[in-house]
Structure 1
Protein backbone atom coordinates (compact mmCIF):
# COMPACT_ATOMS: atom_id res chain seq x y z
CA UNK A 1 0.00 0.00 0.00
CA UNK A 2 1.54 3.37 -0.98
CA UNK A 3 1.96 6.10 1.62
CA UNK A 4 -0.90 8.30 0.37
CA UNK A 5 -3.42 5.46 0.56
CA UNK A 6 -2.04 4.30 3.91
CA UNK A 7 -2.42 7.80 5.38
CA UNK A 8 -5.94 8.20 4.03
CA UNK A 9 -7.02 4.87 5.50
CA UNK A 10 -5.49 5.78 8.86
CA UNK A 11 -7.40 9.05 9.01
CA UNK A 12 -10.70 7.51 7.96
CA UNK A 13 -10.38 4.65 10.42
CA UNK A 14 -9.39 7.05 13.18
CA UNK A 15 -12.39 9.29 12.56
CA UNK A 16 -14.75 6.33 12.43
CA UNK A 17 -13.61 4.75 15.69
CA UNK A 18 -16.44 4.73 18.25
CA UNK A 19 -16.05 6.49 21.58
CA UNK A 20 -16.72 4.15 24.50
CA UNK A 21 -16.89 5.45 28.07
CA UNK A 22 -16.82 3.36 31.21
CA UNK A 23 -19.23 3.66 34.13
CA UNK A 24 -22.59 5.32 34.51
CA UNK A 25 -21.74 8.19 32.16
CA UNK A 26 -21.38 5.93 29.11
CA UNK A 27 -24.61 6.88 27.36
CA UNK A 28 -24.13 10.57 28.10
CA UNK A 29 -20.61 10.51 26.65
CA UNK A 30 -21.75 8.70 23.52
CA UNK A 31 -24.60 11.17 23.05
CA UNK A 32 -22.17 14.10 23.36
CA UNK A 33 -19.82 12.51 20.84
CA UNK A 34 -22.69 12.00 18.41
CA UNK A 35 -23.71 15.64 18.79
CA UNK A 36 -20.20 16.91 18.03
CA UNK A 37 -18.85 14.97 15.03
CA UNK A 38 -15.16 14.95 14.26
CA UNK A 39 -14.14 17.68 11.81
CA UNK A 40 -13.45 16.78 8.20
CA UNK A 41 -9.79 15.95 7.75
CA UNK A 42 -7.42 15.08 4.93
CA UNK A 43 -3.99 13.41 5.03
CA UNK A 44 -0.97 15.60 4.43
CA UNK A 45 1.52 14.68 1.69
CA UNK A 46 5.05 13.58 2.67
CA UNK A 47 7.82 16.11 3.15
CA UNK A 48 11.11 15.53 1.29
CA UNK A 49 12.81 14.20 4.43
CA UNK A 50 9.94 11.76 5.04
CA UNK A 51 10.18 10.48 1.48
CA UNK A 52 13.96 10.10 1.74
CA UNK A 53 13.82 8.24 5.05
CA UNK A 54 11.14 5.92 3.70
CA UNK A 55 13.54 5.02 0.89
CA UNK A 56 16.74 4.56 2.89
CA UNK A 57 15.33 3.58 6.29
CA UNK A 58 14.93 5.58 9.45
CA UNK A 59 12.14 7.26 11.42
CA UNK A 60 9.33 8.52 9.25
CA UNK A 61 6.24 10.61 9.90
CA UNK A 62 3.40 8.56 11.39
CA UNK A 63 0.04 9.17 9.63
CA UNK A 64 -1.60 9.32 13.07
CA UNK A 65 0.38 12.48 13.78
CA UNK A 66 -1.54 14.27 11.00
CA UNK A 67 -4.72 13.55 12.89
CA UNK A 68 -3.25 14.77 16.20
CA UNK A 69 -2.34 18.12 14.65
CA UNK A 70 -5.60 18.53 12.76
CA UNK A 71 -7.75 17.81 15.81
CA UNK A 72 -5.70 20.19 17.97
CA UNK A 73 -6.15 23.20 15.69
CA UNK A 74 -8.29 25.98 17.20
CA UNK A 75 -10.87 27.66 14.90
CA UNK A 76 -8.79 30.84 14.64
CA UNK A 77 -5.99 28.98 12.84
CA UNK A 78 -8.48 28.03 10.14
CA UNK A 79 -9.70 31.60 9.72
CA UNK A 80 -8.72 34.93 8.23
CA UNK A 81 -6.91 35.75 11.48
CA UNK A 82 -3.90 33.75 10.27
CA UNK A 83 -1.15 36.24 9.23
CA UNK A 84 -0.83 36.91 5.53
CA UNK A 85 2.69 35.53 5.23
CA UNK A 86 1.13 32.05 5.37
CA UNK A 87 0.69 32.63 1.63
CA UNK A 88 4.45 32.28 1.22
CA UNK A 89 3.88 28.54 1.53
CA UNK A 90 0.16 28.25 0.81
CA UNK A 91 -0.93 30.99 -1.64
CA UNK A 92 -4.57 29.83 -1.71
CA UNK A 93 -4.93 29.45 2.10
CA UNK A 94 -7.75 31.94 2.66
CA UNK A 95 -9.96 30.46 -0.03
CA UNK A 96 -9.49 26.80 0.90
CA UNK A 97 -12.00 24.52 2.60
CA UNK A 98 -11.38 23.77 6.28
CA UNK A 99 -10.21 20.21 5.66
CA UNK A 100 -7.60 21.51 3.22
CA UNK A 101 -6.44 24.08 5.78
CA UNK A 102 -6.13 21.32 8.38
CA UNK A 103 -4.05 19.27 5.94
CA UNK A 104 -1.80 22.28 5.32
CA UNK A 105 -1.12 22.73 9.03
CA UNK A 106 -0.47 19.00 9.42
CA UNK A 107 2.08 19.30 6.62
CA UNK A 108 3.55 22.43 8.21
CA UNK A 109 4.18 20.64 11.50
CA UNK A 110 5.61 17.64 9.67
CA UNK A 111 8.07 20.01 7.96
CA UNK A 112 8.85 21.69 11.28
CA UNK A 113 9.49 18.31 12.94
CA UNK A 114 11.70 17.34 10.01
CA UNK A 115 13.81 20.48 10.36
CA UNK A 116 13.88 20.44 14.16
CA UNK A 117 14.30 16.76 14.95
CA UNK A 118 14.67 14.79 11.72
CA UNK A 119 11.20 13.30 12.51
CA UNK A 120 12.66 11.49 15.56
CA UNK A 121 10.37 11.76 18.63
CA UNK A 122 13.09 11.14 21.24
CA UNK A 123 15.69 13.65 20.04
CA UNK A 124 17.22 15.81 22.81
CA UNK A 125 19.47 18.84 22.40
CA UNK A 126 21.38 21.36 24.47
CA UNK A 127 22.18 24.67 22.85
CA UNK A 128 25.24 26.90 23.06
CA UNK A 129 23.37 30.08 22.11
CA UNK A 130 23.23 32.59 25.01
CA UNK A 131 19.43 32.86 24.79
CA UNK A 132 19.15 29.09 25.28
CA UNK A 133 21.82 28.75 27.98
CA UNK A 134 19.35 29.48 30.78
CA UNK A 135 17.73 27.38 33.45
CA UNK A 136 14.43 25.75 32.66
CA UNK A 137 11.98 27.26 35.13
CA UNK A 138 10.33 23.87 35.69
CA UNK A 139 13.32 21.50 35.89
CA UNK A 140 15.85 23.92 37.39
CA UNK A 141 18.47 22.60 34.96
CA UNK A 142 20.00 24.17 31.88
CA UNK A 143 17.33 24.36 29.24
CA UNK A 144 17.20 21.35 26.93
CA UNK A 145 14.90 21.00 23.92
CA UNK A 146 13.07 17.74 23.39
CA UNK A 147 10.95 15.75 20.98
CA UNK A 148 9.58 16.25 17.50
CA UNK A 149 9.30 20.02 17.86
CA UNK A 150 12.20 20.51 20.30
CA UNK A 151 10.18 21.91 23.20
CA UNK A 152 11.04 22.52 26.87
CA UNK A 153 9.38 21.76 30.18
CA UNK A 154 9.00 25.50 30.67
CA UNK A 155 6.40 25.40 27.92
CA UNK A 156 4.18 23.53 30.36
CA UNK A 157 3.83 26.73 32.40
CA UNK A 158 3.87 29.20 29.53
CA UNK A 159 1.41 27.49 27.21
CA UNK A 160 -0.39 24.89 29.31
CA UNK A 161 1.28 21.93 27.63
CA UNK A 162 0.71 18.40 28.88
CA UNK A 163 4.20 17.71 30.22
CA UNK A 164 4.90 16.17 33.64
CA UNK A 165 8.43 16.76 34.93
CA UNK A 166 7.78 14.94 38.22
CA UNK A 167 6.98 11.82 36.19
CA UNK A 168 9.68 12.29 33.56
CA UNK A 169 12.64 12.96 35.85
CA UNK A 170 12.44 9.36 37.07
CA UNK A 171 13.00 8.06 33.53
CA UNK A 172 16.07 7.98 31.28
CA UNK A 173 16.60 11.09 29.20
CA UNK A 174 15.55 9.41 25.96
CA UNK A 175 12.81 7.18 27.36
CA UNK A 176 9.84 7.43 24.96
CA UNK A 177 7.52 7.22 27.97
CA UNK A 178 8.60 10.70 28.99
CA UNK A 179 5.56 12.93 28.56
CA UNK A 180 7.51 15.57 26.64
CA UNK A 181 8.70 12.97 24.11
CA UNK A 182 5.28 11.51 23.40
CA UNK A 183 4.30 12.76 19.92
CA UNK A 184 0.74 13.64 20.93
CA UNK A 185 1.85 15.86 23.81
CA UNK A 186 4.70 17.42 21.81
CA UNK A 187 2.61 18.19 18.73
CA UNK A 188 -0.38 19.51 20.67
CA UNK A 189 1.99 21.79 22.56
CA UNK A 190 3.43 23.01 19.27
CA UNK A 191 -0.04 23.95 18.04
CA UNK A 192 -0.62 25.93 21.26
CA UNK A 193 2.68 27.77 20.84
CA UNK A 194 1.98 28.68 17.22
CA UNK A 195 -1.59 29.73 18.05
CA UNK A 196 -0.20 32.00 20.79
CA UNK A 197 2.26 33.56 18.34
CA UNK A 198 -0.10 34.02 15.39
CA UNK A 199 -3.48 34.69 16.99
CA UNK A 200 -2.86 36.05 20.49
CA UNK A 201 0.31 38.03 19.76
CA UNK A 202 -0.58 38.84 16.13
CA UNK A 203 2.95 38.00 14.98
CA UNK A 204 3.70 36.80 11.46
CA UNK A 205 4.32 33.12 10.76
CA UNK A 206 7.94 33.92 9.96
CA UNK A 207 9.49 36.18 12.56
CA UNK A 208 12.95 36.97 13.93
CA UNK A 209 11.43 36.67 17.41
CA UNK A 210 9.46 33.49 16.76
CA UNK A 211 9.65 30.51 19.11
CA UNK A 212 11.49 28.26 16.62
CA UNK A 213 14.73 29.38 14.97
CA UNK A 214 13.60 27.35 11.97
CA UNK A 215 10.90 30.00 11.39
CA UNK A 216 13.33 32.94 11.52
CA UNK A 217 14.13 34.02 7.94
CA UNK A 218 17.78 34.46 7.04
CA UNK A 219 19.05 31.66 9.25
CA UNK A 220 20.57 28.36 8.20
CA UNK A 221 17.88 26.45 10.07
CA UNK A 222 15.17 28.39 8.25
CA UNK A 223 16.58 27.28 4.92
CA UNK A 224 16.42 23.68 6.15
CA UNK A 225 12.76 24.19 7.04
CA UNK A 226 11.93 25.93 3.75
CA UNK A 227 13.26 22.94 1.80
CA UNK A 228 10.73 20.76 3.61
CA UNK A 229 7.88 23.07 2.54
CA UNK A 230 8.15 22.24 -1.15
CA UNK A 231 5.45 19.55 -1.31
CA UNK A 232 2.53 21.28 0.37
CA UNK A 233 -1.02 19.98 -0.30
CA UNK A 234 -2.19 20.63 -3.86
CA UNK A 235 -5.05 22.83 -2.62
CA UNK A 236 -2.47 25.42 -1.51
CA UNK A 237 -1.54 26.25 -5.07
CA UNK A 238 -3.46 29.03 -6.80
CA UNK A 239 -5.40 28.38 -10.01
CA UNK A 240 -2.41 29.32 -12.13
CA UNK A 241 -0.35 26.56 -10.51
CA UNK A 242 2.17 28.90 -8.92
CA UNK A 243 4.73 27.05 -6.81
CA UNK A 244 5.43 27.99 -3.21
CA UNK A 245 8.59 29.87 -2.29
CA UNK A 246 11.57 27.92 -1.00
CA UNK A 247 13.86 30.74 0.13
Structure 2
Protein backbone atom coordinates (compact mmCIF):
# COMPACT_ATOMS: atom_id res chain seq x y z
CA UNK A 1 0.00 0.00 0.00
CA UNK A 2 1.37 3.34 -0.91
CA UNK A 3 2.45 5.56 2.00
CA UNK A 4 0.13 8.42 1.02
CA UNK A 5 -2.87 6.11 1.08
CA UNK A 6 -2.03 4.98 4.61
CA UNK A 7 -1.77 8.55 5.86
CA UNK A 8 -5.12 9.43 4.33
CA UNK A 9 -6.75 6.48 6.02
CA UNK A 10 -5.32 7.52 9.40
CA UNK A 11 -6.50 11.10 8.99
CA UNK A 12 -9.97 9.90 8.05
CA UNK A 13 -10.16 7.77 11.18
CA UNK A 14 -9.08 10.73 13.36
CA UNK A 15 -11.68 12.99 11.77
CA UNK A 16 -14.36 10.37 12.30
CA UNK A 17 -13.46 10.04 15.98
CA UNK A 18 -13.54 13.82 16.42
CA UNK A 19 -16.94 14.08 14.79
CA UNK A 20 -18.34 11.21 16.86
CA UNK A 21 -16.93 12.77 20.07
CA UNK A 22 -18.42 16.17 19.27
CA UNK A 23 -21.82 14.63 18.56
CA UNK A 24 -21.65 12.66 21.82
CA UNK A 25 -20.71 15.83 23.77
CA UNK A 26 -23.62 17.75 22.26
CA UNK A 27 -26.06 14.96 23.11
CA UNK A 28 -24.75 14.73 26.70
CA UNK A 29 -24.90 18.48 27.24
CA UNK A 30 -28.42 18.63 25.90
CA UNK A 31 -29.49 15.90 28.29
CA UNK A 32 -27.99 17.72 31.27
CA UNK A 33 -29.49 21.10 30.36
CA UNK A 34 -32.91 19.54 29.95
CA UNK A 35 -32.94 18.76 33.72
CA UNK A 36 -32.02 22.36 34.80
CA UNK A 37 -35.00 24.74 35.42
CA UNK A 38 -35.06 28.24 34.05
CA UNK A 39 -33.03 30.54 36.32
CA UNK A 40 -33.98 34.19 37.05
CA UNK A 41 -33.16 36.75 39.79
CA UNK A 42 -35.47 36.61 42.86
CA UNK A 43 -37.39 39.89 43.37
CA UNK A 44 -37.66 41.58 46.77
CA UNK A 45 -41.40 40.93 46.89
CA UNK A 46 -40.87 37.24 46.22
CA UNK A 47 -38.21 37.06 48.92
CA UNK A 48 -40.54 38.73 51.41
CA UNK A 49 -43.36 36.39 50.46
CA UNK A 50 -41.10 33.39 51.02
CA UNK A 51 -39.97 34.77 54.38
CA UNK A 52 -43.54 35.44 55.51
CA UNK A 53 -44.61 32.03 54.37
CA UNK A 54 -41.96 30.49 56.60
CA UNK A 55 -43.31 32.21 59.72
CA UNK A 56 -45.25 30.06 62.12
CA UNK A 57 -47.11 31.25 65.26
CA UNK A 58 -45.51 30.25 68.51
CA UNK A 59 -47.48 28.50 71.20
CA UNK A 60 -48.20 30.91 74.09
CA UNK A 61 -46.86 29.96 77.49
CA UNK A 62 -49.51 28.64 79.84
CA UNK A 63 -49.19 31.63 82.20
CA UNK A 64 -50.54 34.06 79.58
CA UNK A 65 -53.26 31.85 78.08
CA UNK A 66 -56.77 32.63 79.30
CA UNK A 67 -59.84 30.62 78.35
CA UNK A 68 -62.24 32.34 78.22
CA UNK A 69 -61.07 35.97 78.20
CA UNK A 70 -61.54 37.68 81.58
CA UNK A 71 -62.92 41.24 81.54
CA UNK A 72 -62.55 43.19 84.79
CA UNK A 73 -65.77 45.03 85.62
CA UNK A 74 -65.20 45.84 89.28
CA UNK A 75 -63.51 48.98 90.58
CA UNK A 76 -59.79 48.34 91.17
CA UNK A 77 -58.69 48.11 94.79
CA UNK A 78 -56.03 50.75 94.22
CA UNK A 79 -56.76 53.83 92.17
CA UNK A 80 -54.27 56.51 91.14
CA UNK A 81 -54.40 59.59 93.32
CA UNK A 82 -56.04 62.46 91.50
CA UNK A 83 -54.02 65.62 91.58
CA UNK A 84 -56.24 68.46 92.66
CA UNK A 85 -55.49 71.34 90.30
CA UNK A 86 -58.06 73.67 91.89
CA UNK A 87 -56.31 76.76 93.20
CA UNK A 88 -58.64 79.14 95.04
CA UNK A 89 -58.23 82.86 94.96
CA UNK A 90 -55.86 84.01 97.68
CA UNK A 91 -54.94 87.45 98.89
CA UNK A 92 -51.28 86.99 98.03
CA UNK A 93 -51.95 86.16 94.36
CA UNK A 94 -50.21 89.36 93.27
CA UNK A 95 -46.95 88.35 94.95
CA UNK A 96 -44.22 86.41 93.11
CA UNK A 97 -44.63 82.80 94.20
CA UNK A 98 -48.17 83.42 95.43
CA UNK A 99 -49.64 80.46 93.55
CA UNK A 100 -46.93 78.23 94.99
CA UNK A 101 -47.92 79.36 98.49
CA UNK A 102 -51.56 78.59 97.70
CA UNK A 103 -50.65 75.13 96.45
CA UNK A 104 -48.55 74.48 99.57
CA UNK A 105 -51.36 75.59 101.87
CA UNK A 106 -53.91 73.49 99.97
CA UNK A 107 -51.62 70.48 100.29
CA UNK A 108 -51.25 71.03 104.03
CA UNK A 109 -55.00 71.35 104.59
CA UNK A 110 -55.57 68.25 102.48
CA UNK A 111 -52.90 66.35 104.41
CA UNK A 112 -52.03 66.68 108.07
CA UNK A 113 -54.67 69.39 108.64
CA UNK A 114 -57.53 67.57 106.89
CA UNK A 115 -59.58 67.65 110.09
CA UNK A 116 -60.26 71.34 109.42
CA UNK A 117 -62.72 70.50 106.64
CA UNK A 118 -64.75 68.24 108.93
CA UNK A 119 -65.40 71.02 111.43
CA UNK A 120 -68.17 73.62 111.09
CA UNK A 121 -67.03 76.37 113.49
CA UNK A 122 -69.71 78.16 115.47
CA UNK A 123 -68.70 81.54 114.00
CA UNK A 124 -68.24 80.34 110.41
CA UNK A 125 -71.24 82.30 109.08
CA UNK A 126 -69.30 85.49 109.59
CA UNK A 127 -66.29 84.21 107.71
CA UNK A 128 -67.79 81.99 105.02
CA UNK A 129 -71.61 81.99 104.77
CA UNK A 130 -71.89 78.92 102.53
CA UNK A 131 -69.20 76.86 104.29
CA UNK A 132 -71.62 74.39 105.88
CA UNK A 133 -73.27 73.63 102.54
CA UNK A 134 -70.08 73.19 100.54
CA UNK A 135 -67.97 70.11 100.02
CA UNK A 136 -64.38 69.43 100.96
CA UNK A 137 -62.75 71.35 98.11
CA UNK A 138 -64.43 74.65 98.88
CA UNK A 139 -64.02 74.23 102.63
CA UNK A 140 -60.33 73.66 102.05
CA UNK A 141 -60.27 76.76 99.85
CA UNK A 142 -61.73 78.84 102.67
CA UNK A 143 -58.99 77.89 105.11
CA UNK A 144 -56.32 78.74 102.57
CA UNK A 145 -58.04 82.03 101.75
CA UNK A 146 -58.27 82.85 105.45
CA UNK A 147 -54.55 82.18 105.87
CA UNK A 148 -53.79 84.54 103.01
CA UNK A 149 -55.99 87.23 104.59
CA UNK A 150 -54.20 86.74 107.91
CA UNK A 151 -50.81 87.02 106.18
CA UNK A 152 -51.69 90.57 105.14
CA UNK A 153 -51.85 91.67 108.77
CA UNK A 154 -49.08 89.45 110.10
CA UNK A 155 -46.28 90.00 107.58
CA UNK A 156 -47.73 91.98 104.66
CA UNK A 157 -47.03 88.86 102.59
CA UNK A 158 -43.27 88.90 103.31
CA UNK A 159 -41.85 85.38 103.86
CA UNK A 160 -38.65 86.77 105.44
CA UNK A 161 -40.44 89.07 107.89
CA UNK A 162 -39.27 88.93 111.51
CA UNK A 163 -41.45 90.44 114.23
CA UNK A 164 -40.47 91.65 117.68
CA UNK A 165 -36.92 91.17 118.93
CA UNK A 166 -36.43 88.04 116.79
CA UNK A 167 -39.56 86.36 118.10
CA UNK A 168 -41.93 85.65 115.21
CA UNK A 169 -41.00 84.53 111.71
CA UNK A 170 -42.36 84.21 108.21
CA UNK A 171 -45.65 84.75 106.41
CA UNK A 172 -47.80 84.02 109.45
CA UNK A 173 -45.28 85.13 112.10
CA UNK A 174 -44.86 81.88 114.02
CA UNK A 175 -42.85 81.69 117.23
CA UNK A 176 -40.28 78.83 117.00
CA UNK A 177 -41.19 77.53 120.46
CA UNK A 178 -44.85 77.39 119.39
CA UNK A 179 -43.85 75.48 116.27
CA UNK A 180 -41.96 72.96 118.38
CA UNK A 181 -44.88 72.64 120.79
CA UNK A 182 -47.27 71.72 117.99
CA UNK A 183 -44.85 69.29 116.35
CA UNK A 184 -44.08 71.32 113.24
CA UNK A 185 -41.25 70.29 110.96
CA UNK A 186 -39.86 73.84 110.89
CA UNK A 187 -38.70 74.68 114.42
CA UNK A 188 -36.20 77.50 113.89
CA UNK A 189 -36.53 81.07 112.71
CA UNK A 190 -34.61 80.31 109.54
CA UNK A 191 -36.83 77.33 108.71
CA UNK A 192 -40.00 79.31 109.37
CA UNK A 193 -38.93 81.88 106.77
CA UNK A 194 -39.59 79.22 104.16
CA UNK A 195 -43.18 80.03 103.09
CA UNK A 196 -44.05 76.40 102.40
CA UNK A 197 -42.87 75.30 105.85
CA UNK A 198 -44.50 78.29 107.52
CA UNK A 199 -47.91 77.57 105.99
CA UNK A 200 -47.57 73.88 106.75
CA UNK A 201 -46.89 74.70 110.40
CA UNK A 202 -49.78 77.18 110.55
CA UNK A 203 -52.16 74.54 109.20
CA UNK A 204 -50.90 72.07 111.80
CA UNK A 205 -51.57 74.57 114.61
CA UNK A 206 -55.06 75.39 113.33
CA UNK A 207 -55.84 71.68 113.01
CA UNK A 208 -55.54 71.54 116.81
CA UNK A 209 -57.12 74.80 117.95
CA UNK A 210 -60.09 75.02 115.57
CA UNK A 211 -61.57 71.56 116.39
CA UNK A 212 -60.72 72.07 120.05
CA UNK A 213 -62.59 75.38 120.31
CA UNK A 214 -65.02 74.90 117.41
CA UNK A 215 -64.23 78.43 116.30
CA UNK A 216 -62.32 80.58 113.84
CA UNK A 217 -62.01 83.64 116.08
CA UNK A 218 -64.47 83.60 118.94
CA UNK A 219 -64.26 85.31 122.32
CA UNK A 220 -65.64 83.29 125.23
CA UNK A 221 -63.81 84.52 128.33
CA UNK A 222 -60.74 84.18 126.12
CA UNK A 223 -60.02 84.14 122.41
CA UNK A 224 -60.52 80.75 120.83
CA UNK A 225 -59.76 78.96 117.58
CA UNK A 226 -57.23 80.60 115.29
CA UNK A 227 -57.35 83.66 117.55
CA UNK A 228 -55.70 81.65 120.33
CA UNK A 229 -52.35 81.93 118.53
CA UNK A 230 -52.58 84.89 116.15
CA UNK A 231 -52.88 88.46 117.43
CA UNK A 232 -54.68 90.02 114.43
CA UNK A 233 -57.51 87.54 114.98
CA UNK A 234 -58.19 89.23 118.35
CA UNK A 235 -58.62 92.72 116.85
CA UNK A 236 -62.25 93.25 115.95
CA UNK A 237 -61.48 95.72 113.19
CA UNK A 238 -59.05 93.30 111.55
CA UNK A 239 -61.47 90.42 112.05
CA UNK A 240 -64.14 92.39 110.20
CA UNK A 241 -61.75 93.26 107.37
CA UNK A 242 -60.53 89.68 106.91
CA UNK A 243 -64.01 88.17 107.21
CA UNK A 244 -65.36 90.63 104.64
CA UNK A 245 -62.72 89.48 102.16
CA UNK A 246 -63.22 85.73 102.68
CA UNK A 247 -67.02 86.06 102.60
CA UNK A 248 -66.84 87.73 99.20
CA UNK A 249 -64.95 84.86 97.56
CA UNK A 250 -66.72 82.39 95.28
CA UNK A 251 -65.87 79.44 97.52
CA UNK A 252 -67.85 81.08 100.34
CA UNK A 253 -70.87 82.06 98.29
CA UNK A 254 -74.07 79.99 98.00
CA UNK A 255 -74.57 78.32 94.64
CA UNK A 256 -77.68 80.42 93.99
CA UNK A 257 -75.49 83.53 93.99
CA UNK A 258 -73.29 82.22 91.20
CA UNK A 259 -74.19 83.70 87.82
CA UNK A 260 -72.75 83.05 84.35
CA UNK A 261 -69.99 85.50 83.49
CA UNK A 262 -70.69 87.71 80.47
CA UNK A 263 -68.27 87.54 77.56
CA UNK A 264 -67.22 90.19 75.11
CA UNK A 265 -67.47 89.77 71.34
CA UNK A 266 -63.92 88.45 71.34
CA UNK A 267 -64.80 85.79 73.89
CA UNK A 268 -62.80 87.36 76.71
CA UNK A 269 -64.38 87.00 80.12
CA UNK A 270 -65.55 90.13 81.90
CA UNK A 271 -64.86 88.52 85.26
CA UNK A 272 -64.17 90.90 88.12
CA UNK A 273 -60.86 89.14 88.65
CA UNK A 274 -58.25 90.71 86.42
CA UNK A 275 -55.78 88.69 84.39
CA UNK A 276 -52.95 90.19 86.46
CA UNK A 277 -53.67 89.82 90.19
CA UNK A 278 -53.64 93.11 92.08
CA UNK A 279 -53.07 93.79 95.72
CA UNK A 280 -56.20 93.99 97.86
Q: TM-score, normalised by structure 1?
A: 0.60
Residues 43 and 206 from structure 1, CA distance in 2 versus in 1: closer, same or farther, beyond 3 angstroms? same
Structure 1 position 223, deviation (Å): 4.6
Structure 1 position 240, deviation (Å): 5.3
Paired residues of 2:138 and 2:251 also in contact (CA < 8 A): yes
Aligned to 1:179: 191
Residues 235 and 43 from structure 1, CA distance in 2 versus in 1: closer, same or farther, beyond 3 angstroms? same
Structure 1 position 205, deviation (Å): 0.7
Paired residues of 1:78 and 1:102 also in contact (CA < 8 A): yes
Question: Aligned partners of 1:100, 1:109: CA distance in 2, in Å?
Answer: 14
Describe how 1:10-159 pairs up with structure 2 within 5 A.
37-38=81-82, 40=84, 42-47=86-91, 50=92, 54=94, 59=95, 62-73=98-109, 74-79=113-118, 81-126=119-164, 144-159=167-182
Paired residues of 2:184 and 2:201 also in contact (CA < 8 A): yes
- Which stretches of structure 1, 4 residues or longer, exceed 4 Å deviation after superposition? none
Partner SS for 1:40: coil
Residues 84 and 42 from structure 1, CA distance in 2 versus in 1: closer, same or farther, beyond 3 angstroms? farther
Aligned to 1:211: 229
Structure 1 position 124, deviation (Å): 0.8
Question: Aligned partners of 1:43, 1:231: CA distance in 2, in Å?
Answer: 16
Paired residues of 1:216 and 1:222 also in contact (CA < 8 A): yes
Question: Aligned partners of 1:227, 1:117: CA distance in 2, in Å?
Answer: 19
Question: Aligned partners of 1:148, 1:192: CA distance in 2, in Å?
Answer: 15
Partner SS for 2:185: coil
Question: Aligned partners of 2:148, 2:97: CA distance in 1, in Å?
Answer: 7
Q: Which runs of 5+ in 1 are unaligned?
A: 1-33, 127-141, 169-177, 243-247
Question: Aligned partners of 1:162, 1:152: CA distance in 2, in Å?
Answer: 13
| Post-superposition CA distance 1:4-42 (Å, at most 9, x none) | xxxxxxxxxxxxxxxxxxxxxxxxxxxxxx756156352
| Post-superposition CA distance 1:31-90 (Å, at most 9, x none) | xxx75615635212243xx47xx4xxxx456101111111112332111x2312122121
Partner SS for 2:163: strand
Larger Rg over CA atoms: 2
Aligned to 1:195: 207
Paired residues of 2:122 and 2:214 also in contact (CA < 8 A): no
Q: Which runs of 5+ in 2 are unaligned?
A: 1-77, 259-280
Structure 1 position 235, deviation (Å): 3.2
Q: Higher relative contact order at CA 8 Å, sep ≥6: structure 1 or structure 2?
A: 1
Paired residues of 1:77 and 1:195 also in contact (CA < 8 A): yes
Structure 1 position 118, deviation (Å): 0.7
Residues 150 and 44 from structure 1, CA distance in 2 versus in 1: closer, same or farther, beyond 3 angstroms? same
Q: TM-score, normalised by structure 2?
A: 0.54
Structure 1 position 216, deviation (Å): 1.6
How large is the Cα RMSD of the aligned pairs? 2.7
Residues 61 and 91 from structure 1, CA distance in 2 versus in 1: closer, same or farther, beyond 3 angstroms? farther
